[in-house]
Amino acid sequence: MKILLVWIITCLIWSTVWLFIKLGLRDLPPISFAGIRLLIAVIILLPVITVRRIALPRKARDLWLIAITGLLLLGLNYGLVFWGAQYISSGLTAVLQAATPAFGLIFTSYYLPDERITPLKFCALLIGIGGVAIIFSNQLQIAGWLALLGCAAVIGGALCVAFSYVLVKAYGGHLHPIVLTAGQMLCGLLPLLIFGLAQEGNPLEFRWTSTATFSLLYLALAGSIAAFGLNYWLLQRIDATKILLMSIVEPPLAIMLGVVALGETLTQRTLWGSGCILLSVGLLLSRSGARAQAG
């Protein structure tokens, strides 16, 4: 029950991230926005590590794992998704990112033999991805080569996320979640800040409204520190695919928040698609819960 509760809380946090990204991007450029978010989180996490005297990894294998997954998860993934989203609709972006757990299944079959692909897992994921597609069925048009490249970029980001989580599950289970989170963010923020400075200008000259500042702080504290910490706590206890499943659940929850906070419209597509997603999640998490209780 505790694992399921933490999974739900983490999923809710991730779902609020999209709302605050939308609010922050009204005033701040995307790449610098992402980089500064990670920088704030690292500035907060490093003193926590020092005060709590959490042991730092010393083995080269662990350092390489943190560096590679940090660059993939927070550097390359963010860059690809932000670039690709310029040329395709937000709905199509959500559908393509919903394929993340399917990619995770492919990687787990090689790195995590215990998390093998089963017909139930495969069908449940198809139902979930189909649910996301139903929600955004009016936004799935692709027009031109740039749109195709944008799709490829978003899919590339989903591959980076899936591969990173599977690698951490396979080789980083012994690492403290706070150290892992801070290390990945430190590696991921450098390319974002460098690219942002070169392409988007001096952060001191950005339009720092109260909404932008609050969004940035919320994303750093909740969307980065809390969500990633809980993610890695869960990853030590349940299958990697169950963590990646959040990418399917986030779109309908984000839409619900948009309805409440921004006055957006709730459509029949959202209701039908959400039903498919709930069925998918129920099929996958019920097996996870049974396994956790058995263990």
Q: What is the pLDDT of residues 170-228, one digit of tens each?
A: 999 899 999 999 999 999 998 899 989 999 999 999 999 999 999 999 999 998 999 99
Distance from first CA to last CA of the chain, Å, rounded?
13
Q: Kindly tell me if the per-residue pLDDT of 287 is higher than 60.
A: no
For the stretch 282-295, what's the b/e string if a residue is b when 16 or more beta carbons lie within 10 angstroms of its beta carbon?
A: ebbbebbbeeeeee
Residue percentage of the chain with pLDDT more than 70 = 92
Which residue carries 């944008």 as its tokens?
150
Contact 242, 168 (CB under 8 A): no
| Each residue's pLDDT tens digit, 107-129 | 998 898 888 778 888 888 889 88
CB 35 within 8 A of CB 192: yes
Among candidate residues 99, 88, 92, the one with its CA nearest the CA of residue 156 = 99
Q: How far is CA 172 from CA 59, 62, 90, 168, in A?
A: 12, 7, 33, 5
